[in-house]
Amino acid sequence: MASVCMIRTARIAMAVTFVVRDNDMLVGATRGPSYFCYRAEPGRHRIAIASDDGEQRFDVTLELRGRYYLDLGLLYRLGFVVPQGRWIDEADATALVQRSEHQVLQGAPAREALLIGTDVAGALAP
């Protein structure tokens, strides 16, 4: 499997939740300085990070045993908060994790496909 971590360190708009989906499955969320990681099958993935004000999408190919880190920055204009993530290396991720708190998703609406526990986010068919 691959490992994917979402790290958010911004101290502005701390009450705004960024919801993260991998191939339409809810894998986690951040609010304020927080981070989470999940496991994913090698292959193609469509990762979407959304706030109430907008969304950013990434099409990525994950490799077996690969470790991937997304720094969840944001664009803040006139009260609108939109995710602005960028992929970073492990050294930068290690530094950012120290400035945030590990979070575990506690629940979700019943209509959501939810990744829980040791579940793995599936890859898209080739």
**pLDDT for res 22:** 96
**pLDDT for res 108:** 66
**pLDDT for res 106:** 64
> Which CATH architecture is the domain 2-105 placed in?
Sandwich (2.60)
**pLDDT for res 125:** 81
**pLDDT for res 115:** 75
Torsion of CA 67, 107, 115, 18, to 10 degrees: -50
Torsion of CA 59, 115, 74, 51, to 10 degrees: 100
> Tokens representing 102?
């590990």
b/e burial code for range 14-26 (CB count within 10 A of at least 16 → b): eebebbbbbbebb
Local mean pLDDT, 10-residue blocks, the chain (126 residues): 94 90 93 93 97 96 97 91 95 93 71 73 84
